[in-house]
């Protein structure tokens, strides 16, 4: 488990970039991310993460979360 000194944003940026590179390598061979940690995810990343279940998730979100209060901050939705 990596840590970064919060007073060193340059180190934080480097570690987040390294996390992204590791994620991209894992994804290239079929890996997915356990979504806890310092890995910013885009809506496209999430779509790839959920794969064939994505459309079902979108339908469930529309049905059960009409006010968009769930999963704020994770970057799932544009």
- In this predicted structure, what is the pLDDT of residue 1? 67
Q: Give the pTM.
A: 0.68
Domain boundaries along the sequence of the chain: 9-64
- In this predicted structure, what is the pLDDT of residue 25? 94
Return the closest-CA partner of residue 40 out of 59, 21, 67, 55. 21
pLDDT bracket for residue 73 (50, 70, 90):
confident
Residues 19-67 have pLDDT tens digits of: 899 999 999 999 988 877 777 888 899 999 899 999 999 999 999 999 9
Return the closest-CA partner of residue 19 out of 8, 43, 6, 3. 3
């Amino acid at each position: 488990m990596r840590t970064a000194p919060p007073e060193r944003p340059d180190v934080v940026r480097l570690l987040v970039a390294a996390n992204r590179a590791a994620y991209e390598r894992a994804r290239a061979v079929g890996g997915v991310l356990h979504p806890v940690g310092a890995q910013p995810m885009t809506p496209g990343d999430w779509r790839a993460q959920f794969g064939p279940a994505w459309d079902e998730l979108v339908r469930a979100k529309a049905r059960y979360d009409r006010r968009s209060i769930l999963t704020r901050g994770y970057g799932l939705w544009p």
